[in-house]
Structure 1
Amino acid sequence: MKRPQLIGLAIAATAGVLAFVMVRGMVSRPPVEKTVEIKVKSSDVLVARTDIGLGQITNDSLFRWQSWPEETVTPGFITRTAQPDAMTQLSGSIARAPLMAGEPITPNKLVKAGQGGVLAAILPAGMRAISTRIKEETAVGNLILPNDRVDVILIRRMRGRSGTEEFVSDLLFGNVRVLAIGQQIENKEGKKTADGVANTATLELTARQAELMALSNSMGDISLSLRSIADLDVNAGPTAGVDPSSSRESSAIRVMRYGTASRAYGVN
């Protein structure tokens, strides 16, 4: 092979090796990550610094300002721009509902002290709180807790058409929220039963239903039937059953027990 050919071959080989090395380096080189900073408009929103319990009296150490995307700020949120002194203004308020750490504070979740007691603070507008006596056998063995939903049943004696006394059961109200058991208005952490010495249950009813509840307390024995969590409708209020002040009879079932007639009104 002639010398010029050898020189050309050597140059070609060298160029091929260099090209191979360059291509290999480009293929094996890790991709360059680029960080793009996008600025999102935000507002400082007042949130709970720690968990706040139902009925707890607040102070400014329980609140903090947190940056919140402006597009998600609803009209109910308290912003630093609109209320820079909100922490001081809300200090001493009472929590109408439990608040979790980081949850935005809204005016309807707190009520200022002096505008009523704790129970009045957690009552929705238009509703009334009324208590009824309970005992272990009429309150599901003391397993009913605040914020449970129950049906209220009245058991009373009535004189039948034959002149004999009969036991009658009426469903007074359904889906009733329990506000308190005794003086306990909130479930205690880790406790699965109500206070064993509690002998009253405070219920959330409408004004008319509270009137009927007071009447029923004097007419007979009240029993509370616990509703399943699968049947709960927290957005629905208590439903009406039988009016105990009415003498109208509905379809009834008569049962003979130990020679004494008893009757349960139909409520459908």
Structure 2
Amino acid sequence: MAPSRVIILGVAVVTAIGAGYVAKRMSTPPPPVVIDNRASEPAIRLEEVLVLDGDVPMGAVVGDQLAWQSWPSDNIADGFITRESDPTALDELQGAIARVPMYEGEPLRRFKLIGEGQSFMSSILPAGKRAVATRIAADTSAGGFILPNDFVDVIMTRRSTTDGGGGAADGFVTETILKNIRVLAIDQAIQEDEEGRRVRVGDTATLELTPQQAEIITVAQQMADRLTLALRAVVDTQEVVEDEGDYLVSGQGRRGTVRMIKSGEVSEVGAGK
């Protein structure tokens, strides 16, 4: 047989074998796809935490603003209420009162609620502080722009006499007797209204005071013709106060100077004069 015929025959055989292999591969069905319908466990373990389902203002009842929400177990901090540890908490805490403002999505903590049998005002007072009310009006409270959680100075204005024997008034003395005092409430309001209005003219301001300051303002209320609240700027609320009207309750002489207004003229006199 001629060599060329042998080569052609070999090529034909190889081509036939290749075509048969390809045909066999195409006719073989693909392997079946196995679907696992079993639910796989999440990679992160979750627990249900009691959270606020809406905003709750300070002093308001929590009510139905509560819901269970899934949280990663590693992100649950001390104080969070979980369904595993306290399954009845959602029903039990609906009648609780908020000690501070709380907001939607926030995990509920018991220390932000008023304890059973406690009054609201006593529960929001820091340790060692006292709540003292003083009468105010629009012209003695920055035109009504003072609101709860603002800080104020208390200014006392009283008549002065020159004969020292209770004679006729000869002018007025004015001085700041308390500084950087937090306002707890205006009348019965302990925060801004829901519309965010910044003006509220009340009759009574409740102030957060130390026991010494409570005595000072009590004496001042008896001897003053007028007590005025002066609103402080937010940047001034960190000021450390060193001088107040301690002389009103200490029995000692006056410290510093006082401003006297007499016949339209302003003058300063030394303490104790």
* TM-score normalized with structure 2 length: 0.70
Which of 97, 102, 117 is the equivalent residue of 2:100? 97
For 2:154, the equivalent position in structure 1 comes to 152
What are the superposed Cα offsets for residues 47-93 of structure 1, whole Å, 9 maximum, x if unpaired? Answer: 1111001111223x211122223333221222222222212222211
For 2:232, the equivalent position in structure 1 comes to 227
1:64 paired with 2:67, answer yes
Which of 215, 218, 221 is the equivalent residue of 1:217? 221
Unaligned runs of 5+ in 1: 1-36
| Aligned residue type for 2:220 | S
**Map 1:131-142 → 2, pairs under 5 A:** 131-142=133-144
For 1:192, the equivalent position in structure 2 comes to 197
1:245 aligned counterpart, secondary structure:
helix
Contact 2:49–2:71 under 8 Å retained in 1: yes
Cα gap change, 1:257 to 1:94, in 2 (>3 Å): same
Higher mean alpha-carbon deviation, 171-180 vs 152-161, is at 152-161
In the aligned structure 2, how far is the partner of 1:110 from the partner of 1:237? 31
Percent of residue pairs identical: 38
What are the superposed Cα offsets for residues 100-156 of structure 1, whole Å, 9 maximum, x if unpaired? Answer: 10111111210145322x323332333221111111221000111112111222222
In the aligned structure 2, how far is the partner of 1:242 from the partner of 1:78? 47
Bigger Rg, structure 1 or 2: 2
**Map 1:105-144 → 2, pairs under 5 A:** 105-116=108-119, 118-144=120-146
Which of 43, 56, 60 is the equivalent residue of 2:47? 43
Cα gap change, 1:181 to 1:259, in 2 (>3 Å): closer
1:180 paired with 2:182, answer no
What are the superposed Cα offsets for residues 141-198 of structure 1, whole Å, 9 maximum, x if unpaired? Answer: 01111121112222223456988855333333222221111222221123434433x2
Structure (1 or 2) with the greater strand fraction:
1
* TM-score normalized with structure 1 length: 0.71
In the aligned structure 1, how far is the partner of 2:134 from the partner of 2:153? 13
Please state how far the C-alpha of 1:207 moved relative to its aligned partner. Answer: 2.7
| Aligned residue type for 1:210 | A
1:111 aligned counterpart, secondary structure:
coil
Please state how far the C-alpha of 1:45 moved relative to its aligned partner. Answer: 2.0
Cα gap change, 1:105 to 1:232, in 2 (>3 Å): farther
Contact 2:159–2:171 under 8 Å retained in 1: yes
